[in-house]
Amino acid sequence: MASLNRSLPKARPAAQRATTLEMVRHACPDIPQALRISESFGLTVVDSDGIRDLHRSQLIDSAAALKDVLADKAMQIHMQRIVGSFVGSAYGAGQFYSRAVTEARDLTTKLSNEFRDEDLDGPVGFDSRAQRKREFAADMGLQAHVLRMAAEGAVSAYEEITGATWKPYERTGTAASASSIDKRAASLQMSAFD
């Protein structure tokens, strides 16, 4: 069995699904929701359009500074990576926001059970645990929203700079070959039981 393990290459982790702008839009609050969060929790109203436009113009200015040196394909690859980082960051923030909302919702729902001492309001002058969770979720919602706006600005800039629609970079072939190797290894290992 030891010789079998040495002869098989180590399996690579399964390829993750590439993050799209559509996934960001599902995970992060849009402008009306961000406004509701700000108003409900007394937080600063975010200049969503300003953030999106600023990031768009910054990337366009950056590309203009590089255009005399970078070939079109090199510019496209460079911008692909930059935009991908904006989209990935926004999506990660959106996922974190979603978990924060779930925790806040769960804790707030538990408050309706009057027999749970740990969920009761804190001492006078202190917020309850559920209130702190709701406020944290609101903060995370606004953070996810502004990162969404930055990602949307970056995608818009990519389209203007390259003339193409931005799509996330996806490796081809590596996931399929890793899966094939995993299947062959599993088949070989299972034959040892026969």
Q: What is the pTM of this model?
A: 0.75
Q: What is the pLDDT of residue 185?
A: 73
Q: Work out the number of other CB atoms within 10 angstroms of the CB of residue 162.
A: 18
pLDDT tens sequence across 54-100: 999 999 999 999 999 999 999 999 999 999 999 999 999 999 999 99
Of 5-19, 148-162, 172-186, the one with minimum mean pLDDT is 5-19
Listed in sequence order, the residues at least 6 apart from 167 whose beta carbon sits closer than 8 Å to its beta carbon are: 20
Answer with the residue of higher pLDDT: 18 or 159.
Answer: 159
Q: How far is the C-alpha of 193 from the C-alpha of 176, rounded, in Å?
A: 27
Name the band, by pLDDT with cuts 50, 70 and 90, for residue 163.
very high
Q: What is the mean pLDDT of residues 41-55?
A: 97
Q: Is residue 121 a contact partner of residue 128, using CB atoms and an 8 Å limit?
A: yes
Domain-wise residue ranges, the chain: 20-168
Q: Is residue 87 a contact partner of residue 25, using CB atoms and an 8 Å limit?
A: no
Kindly tell me if the per-residue pLDDT of 147 is higher than 70.
Answer: yes
Question: Over pLDDT 90: what percentage of the chain?
Answer: 64
Kindly tell me if the per-residue pLDDT of 1 is higher than 60.
Answer: no
Q: Tell me which DSSP letter residue 180 carries.
A: H
